[in-house]
A and B are shown apart, each in its own frame.
Chain A
Amino acid sequence: MESAAVLAKEVRNWKELSEFSRHASELYTECGRSQPASDALAKGARALEDFAPEEAIQLYTDACDALEEDGKEQMAFDLYRAATSVYIKLEKYADAATFLLRLALAADKCNATHSQCKAYLSAIIVHLYAHDFQQAEKCYNDCCQVEAFLNSDQNRAASRLLSAYTEGDVEEIKRAAQSSIVSNLDHVIVKLARKLPTGDVSAFKMDTKDQEEPLDEDDLT
C-alpha cells in the first residue's frame, strides 16, 4: 500500500495519495502495529503539505490519534510540530495554538517537562502574534496552573514578554523576543517571535485599564 502511495505522489494524484495512505495505515492498525500506521499517514501528510494543506492536517491529526491510542505519545511530538507549522502557514493561529496545547498535554503524559514548557511558550507567542492579547493572557494563566511550567525558565520569559506588552514598550518586547530562551523553540515560532510586535501595542494598555474598572465597582459593592 505504501508503495502505491509513493507512486501516487509521483503522479501528483492527491486524492488517491491520501486514500492510499489511509488504507495503508488501516491495514497496519489491524495488524496491531500502530507505529507504521502513523508513519504511513505522516508520509502522506508531508507529501500533501504544499498542495492540500487541509488534507495534510487531517492526516497528521489521525496519525497523532493513532499513536496516542497506543500510548506512544513520544512519537507524536514531531507530528504535532509539523501540524502546527502547517497551521501557521495557513495563518490559522488559534488552531495552531490549540495544537501546541495538545502537544503540551502529550508531553505531560510522558513527563517531558522541557518540551511541555516550550509548547506553552510557543502557544503564548502564537497568540501574541495573532494580536490577541486576551487570549495570550488567558493562555498564560492556564499554563501557570501547571507546576512544571511555573518553575521553568520559559515561564519567566513568558511573563517578561507579557509585561512588556502591557507596558507597551516596543524595545522591551523586541529584547524579550530575541532572548536565548525564545530562540530555542521551533524555528517557525522563532520567526514569528522575531516579527513581534505586530500592530499597535499601546492598544493593549487601554484594554487592561478598561478591564480593571468593572472589577473595582464589583469590589466596592
Chain B
Amino acid sequence: MSVIDILFRVDSICKKYEKYDVEKQGSQNASSDDSFARLYGWFESQIEAVLHKSEMVAMETNRAAMVAMNAEVRRTKARLMDEVPKLQKLAQKRVKGLSMEELEVRKDLVLALPERIQAIPDGTAAKQAGVWEASTSHKNIKFDTDGQFDDDFFQKSEESNQFRQEYEMRKIKQDQGLDIISEGLDTLKNLAADMNEELDRQVPLIDEIDTKVDRATTELKNTNVRLKESIFKIRSSRNFCLDIILLCIILGIASYLYDILK
C-alpha cells in the first residue's frame, strides 16, 4: 500500500472509533454544552500561545523585537486577567450533568489561573516587586522598558561623557560661526540701506535729467528738420553742382600756381 492509502485508512479508523476519544469528546461536549468549559478551553489556548511567545523572546537577540514581543505578552496577560472574573462567575453556575466535586474543581482551577497567567515571563518579572512599589498609585502608567534597571544603568559611562563634550564643543563652534555670519549680515544690511537711500536721492535728479534731455532732443529734431530743408533747397537747384565744379577749378588753379612758385 502506498502512503496515501495508509493515511486514508488511518483517518477512516479514527473516525470509526471517535466516540472512544476522551479528549475530543470532552472538547466537543464543552463546545456544545458548557460555556465554562468553552471559556476555560479558550484560556488554556491563550496561555499556551503566550508561553510560546515568551519562549521566543528568550531566544531573540534583537532588543527592539524583544521589547515588542514582551509588550505583546504583557497585553495578552492583561486581557486574560480581565477575563478571569467572567470565568469565575461561570464557575459558580451549576450546569446539568455536573457533580458537586467537579464544581469545586472548577473553582480551584479558576483560582489557579491568575497565578499561572502572572507566572508567564514577560521581562519585568524580576524587578516588579522591588522597584515599583513606590509607584503603586500610578497603576495605569506602565513603563515600556526591559526592566534592567540595574545600578549602573543611569551612570555616566565614558562614552556618554565624550558625546556630551563633543556636543558642547560643536555647539560653541556653531555659535562662533553664527556670530561671524551675523556680523557679515550687519555690514550687508548697512550697505544695502545706504544704497537704498542713495538711489532715493538720485531719483529726482534723474527725473530732472530726463526732462532736460527730452527738451534737448526735441530741439535737435527741429534743427535737423530745418537743416534738411535748407540742404534740400540748395540741392534742388543747380547751384550745388556748379559750386563743386567751380571749387575744383579753383583748387586746380591753386595747385598750378603752387607748382609754378615752387
Contacts and interface: CB of A to CB of B under 8 A. Distances in A.
Contacts of B194: 114
Contacts, number: 25
Given A114-B193, A114-B196, A181 B201 contact: no
A110 interface: yes
Contacts of A144: none
Interface in A45-92: 72, 74-75
A110 B196 contact: no
Contacts of A74: 200-201, 204
A112 interface: yes
Contact of B187 (A72, A75, A110, A184): A184
Nearest to A115: B197
B186 interface: yes
Contacts of A145: none
B20 to A, nearest CB: 98
A110 B190 contact: no
Interface of B: 183, 186-187, 189-190, 193-194, 196-197, 200-201, 204
Pairs A-B, 10 closest by C-beta atoms: A114-B193, A184-B190, A180-B186, A74-B201, A112-B197, A180-B183, A115-B197, A114-B197, A180-B187, A181-B186
Interface of A: 72, 74-75, 110, 112, 114-115, 153, 180-181, 184
20 contacts: A74-B200, A74-B201, A74-B204, A75-B201, A110-B200, A112-B197, A112-B200, A114-B193, A114-B194, A114-B197, A115-B197, A153-B186, A153-B189, A180-B183, A180-B186, A180-B187, A181-B190, A184-B186, A184-B187, A184-B190
